[in-house]
Structure 1
Amino acid sequence: MYTHQKNIKSAGKPLEETGKALIMIHGRGATAESILSLREHLNVANFSLFAPQATNHSWYPYSFMAPIEQNQPALDSALALLNGLIDSIKEKGITSKAIYLLGFSQGACLTAEFANRQAQLYGGLILFTGGLIGQQLNIQNYTGTFEGTPVLITTGDPDPHVPVSRVNETEKILEEKGATVTKKIYKGRPHTILQEEIDLARTILSPTAANH
């Protein structure tokens, strides 16, 4: 088993110029650079971008539906890495509502789990094919409130990694914690990101989004 070394790639203008951060979290077997390449499709010129790199190219070793203990200590290490990154952004005077989180697949699962464990008002959460982590969900792990944070959560039906049932469970918990959720289930969609998902993400990232 493994823990994660701090290795964060960045792109875009410095925080002092933008005042807004987008944290992008890659999927299993991928890289920080690969998730950063999504920026070309997302209209994020006015964001500072940060993408942590997972040690071994994986945030945790087993399925996100496995018992949480099986994915330790990698999972806790990944959550701590994200926490440290957000703290370092806040230390530059950026509030949580100017911080956006985006993940794909395993990265979306990690994003959902992290955000729900210490919910606050974020600029937005974009969960491309992901859901909360664990064989059974332990509601006691999830604290705080999202105060209307806009959330996009998607998956395919069926998806080889992320079942619709877990996306539905995750949506329910997000809404109970005060998030404004857009859920999209795509029949027969392969394990990828569709143009419609990009367009919905752009809406959340837009400077005219409702919570600004």
Structure 2
Amino acid sequence: MQQRLDISAFSGVPLVQAQAACVLVHGRGQTPDHMLRAVVAPLALDGVSYVLPASGGAGWYDARAIDPITDTTLSQMNAGLDLLEGLVADIAALRPELPVVMVGFSQGACLLTELLLRRAPQLSGAAVLTGCRIGHQTDSRPISRLTDMPVYATCSDDDPWIPQAQFFEMLTTLTGAGARLRADLFPARDHEISRGEIAELRSMLINLIAGQPAFSEGT
């Protein structure tokens, strides 16, 4: 097993026995334990190996997601992207045919968005829970092709960290990049992961465990 997997927390079944893998990227000021409580516990799914990387500090980067990208932000962001991209590669090396979904919340969702659009990782699906692109419209932000990748994206209509404008801008960019997008905007939802988001993620994982695409017809 590669070093990036060695330094990540795990829950669920071992990767060698899993029917699907789910990489969970925590938010600012959080740890993998938050994702265990907020995602893994309410999912209550058998057959899934959960991989939980940690930022190693107070967050994946210091700035707000909507701030212009500085050299410091770019360096911090790239370090996080390298870790996530490496985890996907390590899982594929161990289990080449295993479906992999990546889920990010808040700052972790923003980092996941950049991973999708900058590096187009080989994922079976992604869930961007309360996120947007990192940086400002005036920044140079690469866009990779995401041909038919299932992406579920969410936000609140009054989130303290992710403005609606940036959320909708991200949706437009993901659609333009070719993602197969589903999105929810929750009215007056707190900055948290809701039951509706868990239900959608559960559906994605159940489909993959059954050997179907994450977004199957009729689901």
Settle same-fold status: TM greater than 0.5.
Answer: yes
Q: CA–CA distance in 1 between the matches of 2:59 and 2:108?
A: 9
Tell me the secondary structure at the aligned position of residue 57 of structure 2. helix
Correspondence list, 1:63-102, <5 A: 63-69=64-70, 70-95=72-97, 98-102=99-103
Alignment correspondent of 1:108:
109
Provide the rounded CA distance (Å) in 2 between the counterparts of 1:108 and 1:35.
Answer: 12
**Which letter does structure 2 place at the counterpart of 1:60?**
Y
The size of the alignment, in residue pairs, is: 205
How many angstroms apart in 2 are the aligned matches of 1:137 and 1:78? 22
CA offset at residue 93 of structure 1?
A: 3.2
TM norm structure 1: 0.88
Correspondence list, 1:7-86, <5 A: 7-37=7-37, 38-69=39-70, 70-86=72-88
1:10-39: CA deviations, max 9, x gaps? 112222211421100001000012212321
Contact 1:24/1:103 (CA < 8 Å) preserved in 2? yes
| Cα separation, 2, equivalents of 1:117 and 1:35 | 24
User: How well do the aligned residues superpose, as a CA RMSD in angstroms?
Assistant: 2.1
**Tell me, which stretches of 5 or more residues in structure 2 are unaligned?**
1-5, 215-219
Identity of aligned residues (%): 28
SS state of the match for residue 94, structure 2?
coil
Aligned letter for 1:107? G
Per-residue CA deviation, residues 48-102 of structure 1 (Å, 9 max, x unaligned), is 111111121300001011122251421111111111111111111324x711000
Aligned position for 1:152: 152
Larger CA deviation: 120-129 vs 168-177 = 120-129
- Aligned partner of 1:3 in structure 2 is none
The 2-side partners of 1:117 and 1:111 are apart by: 10
SS at match of 1:161: coil
Q: Decide whether aligned partners of structure 1 residues 43 and 209 sit closer, same or farther in structure 2, where only a CA change above 3 A counts.
A: farther
Question: In the alignment, residue 148 of structure 1 is paired with which amino acid?
Answer: D
State the 1:106 CA deviation: 0.5
Report how far residue 210 of structure 1 moved: 5.0
The AA in structure 2 aligned to 1:12 is: G
